[in-house]
Structure formats: structure tokens, C-alpha cells
Amino acid sequence: MKKEFDHGTAADVSREDLDAVMTSLEPDQLSFEKAKHHCPRRKLTGVEMLLFWALRIYLVFMFGVVIYQVWTGAR
Amino acid sequence: MLWLLIGPGVLVMLGENDGPSMLSYAATGARFGIGFFLPFVVLTFCMACVVQEMTVRLGAATHRGHAELIFDRFGPFWGWFSMADLMVGNFLTLVTEFIAIRAGLGFFGVRPAVAVLGALCVLFVALMTHRYWTWERITLGAAMFNLVFVPVALLSHPHWGAVSRALFTWKPLPGGLNQETVLILLADIGATVTPWMLFFQQSAIADKGLTTRDIRFGRFDTVLGAALATLAAAATILATAPLFTHHMTAANFEAAEFAQALQPFVGRWGSALFALGIFEAGMVAAVTISTSSAYAFGEVARRPHSLNLPFKQGKSFYLVLLAEAAAAAGLVLIPGIPLVYIVLLVNVIAVLAMPPALLFLYMLVNDREIMGELVSPIWANMLALGVVIVLIGAGLLFGVSVIAPNALAALGGR
């Protein structure tokens, strides 16, 4: 039977070839896995919104406290 | 198989034992000894395990980085908020990493500019591997150097009876609650649980390609990392504890001064190892934290973001990473910066920024639509809730200590 392709031996495959294969393969594999797991946007409930905003206000307030401490420390 | 799959957990935990963290532990041992803080640090790493385990499941189940998932699920408004928290926190932390690099090498007489530029070159070389696997192994090898604090602790000849008593009896907070102890308490919490860890571990798990079948390895990786990091943190507290027992004033110590002050107790080699450890902690964290920012930026800006990409394809990823590191490095060269104060404050900011980040994580990991059967069981949710309560409580305590320090007396302080 006629051999259609000459695949060569393992030793014929250069490091550069392997690198090229890996570089093109890995992002594709990642996007394939991601595509299988769809993560659509969800609507937040009232309680969740309240929690998000409460913690956001807490963060802003506490940053103010840190700035106040730096200011008093500098004085 | 285990060797192939460990990485993100060990890296994130040892990466979090960064310059500011090690300096916080050093300040802790020198100012307060081991009685209260040795078991406290073990507790904070248990909290870190609870939090990071959630990112393992989330990364393996969704194959998405944390920032990308917040954008996809909650929309750009909340996505940009969390992104801004991360970027500000990461930048401030990066500044302190370069402070640690500068201080650690300063012990050996290296000039600040040379130390900082050298560190930037190391960061650049680590990135040029263009392969997540190679990058991870190099960084993992460097991170293991964090354990250098163990021989320093042994050289300080700790009293093992006192160490085991401290671990099992948990002595009260020395000096009670006051501004200084609250600052150290928060700095030690911020030394183990911070927002960048969530973003980094989840993105690294997605980049590494871990799947739901690998979750148990991811959990083992996380616990192993926490155990190693606890060992290094406890060793640092033990190493500087002689300064406390010999009543040496350590309130105004800078990093290199810790190493110099330790010389009578641990010898020249011990001090040199301590300074090297501080340098290494800053160096490894500079690599992991800048990578965490670049991952998050790539995820939300929908740009290619992987350590597997050649520079041309991942230009924005690498440029964000290097630009952030270079800006932080530049700031450190400003003369006359109060190093330890900045370091402690940055750890405090990390604690304050954690509850909003944890709320996103909590909601995502309990989202059956994306997690399926991998949603958190009730016990995991109870533990996570406990961590949030501790963090908010610590933040409020800090607020009280700053705004109304006298009110701490009502809480048993002085």
C-alpha cells in the first residue's frame, strides 16, 4: 500500500514544531472548554443589590478611615 | 500526577507570604512575642484555605478567570467595581513588594536602584518563558525559598515548650486592644487573605486547564500551600521573638534593621538568610501579583491573556503586567518613605477590600446554573460566612481604633 504521508520519526519533530503546536492548541482547548460552560448574565435580586451596595459603602467609608489615619499620622 | 497538578494553590499561598506579610510577621514577633499570635496566624491560614478552595471549584467548573466570571454573570457595572478594587489593591501591594526587595538586598549593601531594576529584570525573564508550565515551575521553585525562615527560627533557639504552650493554650493579646495591636491584628489577617489571591488562583486554574476531575488535587494543592505558608509565617514570628523577650524596641524597625537586630541571636548567617527571605518574598509576589492584574485586565478587556502566549499575541497582557510592576518599582525609589508603616497599612487595606470580593465569590460558588453539583455544601457556606464576619468585624475594630481610640477601652483595651 502506498504511504500517503511521511510522518517522520519522533526525532524529526523539532522543538520549534512542538512549540508551535502547543501555542496554537492551548488557547483553543481553553476556549473549547469555556464554550461548553455557558455563563449567561443573571438578574440580581433586591437583597443581593442591597448587600452589594452596603459592602461598597463600607469599603468607601473604610478607605476614608485609612486616609484619615495617614493624614493624622503625617501631622 | 500530583506533581503535575500542584501549582496554583502552593503558588498563591507562598506568594501571599510576600514582602509586607513577612514584615508584618517580623513586626508581630518583635513587638508581641508568640503567645497570642502563633495560634492566630494558624487560624488566618485556615480562613485562607476555606476561601481559596472555593476558587478551585469555581475555576475548574467554569474554566473562567474570576474577573471574567463576575463580568459575565453580574454585568460590567459590578465587574468594573471589582476590577478597580483589584487593580488599586494590587498596585499598592506591588509597591510594598519592591520595598521588601529593596530592604532585603539593602542588608547586603545593594543600592536601592540596582535592587529594584534587578528585580524588574528577573520579572521580565520569568515571563519570557511563554509557557504557563515553565513559568509556574520557576516561580514555584523560587516560592519554596520562603521556607528559608525555618532555619532562621531554628538558629534563634526557640523554647519548644513555650511554642507548644502558645499553640495549644492561646494566650491573651499582650497589652490588650489598642491602636497598635489592632493594626498588627489586621496586618496579619491581610497577610493571609487578600482579593488578589481569589483572582490569581482561579485564573491560574483556568490557564492550567484543570477540570472538575482535578478538584481534589486542587484542594490538596491549596492545603499543602497553606501548610507550607503557615510554617514560614510561624518561623518568622519565632525568629523575631527574641527581640520581644529581650525587650528590644522594634517599633521603628525597617526591614533590613530586623535582620541587623537579629544578628546577636541568630548569627551573621541567620541574619543574611532572613534578609534573603524578605527579598525572595517580595520577588515571588511581585511576579504573581502583577500576573494576577494582567490576567484580570485581559479577562475584562476581552484581550488574549495567557502566559502561554508569545509576546506579539499577548501584547496587552504582558504590557499591563510590566507597566504595573515598573510604576510600583519607580515609586519605591522615592527617598524617605516610612517603609513598615506603609507595609502594615497595605495589609490593612487588603482586609478592608476582602468582604465585597468574598460576596462575589460566595454568590458565584452557590450559583447552581454555573456550578451544577459543585455548589458549596452548607458547612462550606457556614465557614465562608464565618470568614466574612471575622473580616468585617476586624475592619470595624480598625475603624473604631482610628476614629475613637478611647472606645477600645470599653472592649477591654488600654
Domain ranges of chain B: 2-411
Give the distance from residue B64's alpha carbon to the nearest chain A alpha carbon, in angstroms.
Answer: 7
Residue predicted with more confidence, B113 or A23: B113
- What is the widest separation between alpha-carbon atoms in chain A? 90
> What is the reported pLDDT for B285?
84
DSSP-assigned letters across all residues of A14-64: -HHHHHHHHHHHHHHHHHHHHHHS-----PPPHHHHHHHHHHHHHHHHHHH
For residue B365, give the amino acid letter.
V
Average pLDDT over residues A53-65: 89
B201 to chain A, closest Cα gap in Å = 16
pLDDT of residue A3: 45
**pLDDT for res A16:** 61
Q: Nearest CB to B73: which of A22, A27, A39?
A: A39
Q: Which of B73, B356, B399 sits opposite A55 (nearest CB)?
A: B356
3-state secondary structure A11-23: HHCCHHHHHHHHH
Place of cell 459575565: B72
C-alpha count within 13 angstroms, C-beta hemisphere, residue B23: 34
Chain centre distance of CA B153: 20
Chain B, 135 to 164: residues with Cβ < 8 Å from chain A are none
What confidence score (pLDDT) does residue B266 get? 83
Q: Does the beta-carbon distance from B310 to A23 stay under 8 Å? A: yes
B367 interfaces chain A, CB cutoff of 8 Å? yes
Tell me, yes or no, if A33 comes closer than 8 A to chain B by beta carbon: yes
**CATH class of the domain defined by B2-411:** mainly alpha
pLDDT value for B246: 65
Over chain B (414 residues), the average pLDDT of each successive run of 10 is: 68 83 85 85 89 91 86 87 84 86 86 88 74 72 84 88 83 76 83 85 83 85 92 91 69 63 84 89 83 75 69 74 83 73 78 86 89 87 88 86 76 58
* Alpha-carbon distance B352 to nearest alpha carbon in chain A (angstroms): 6
User: How many residues does the structure list for chain B?
Assistant: 414
**Is residue B302 classed exposed, middle or buried when 0-12, 13-18 and 19+ CB atoms within 10 A define those classes?**
exposed
> What is the arithmetic mean of pLDDT over A42-57?
89
pLDDT > 90? residue A50: yes
pLDDT of res. B231: 92
C-alpha cell at B350: 487588603
* Residue A75 touches partner B, C-beta closer than 8 Å: no
Residues of chain B found within 8 Å of residue A42, distances taken between Cβ atoms: 73-74, 367, 369
> Cα angle vertex B15, ends B11, B16, to 5°?
125
pTM of this prediction exceeds 0.95:
no
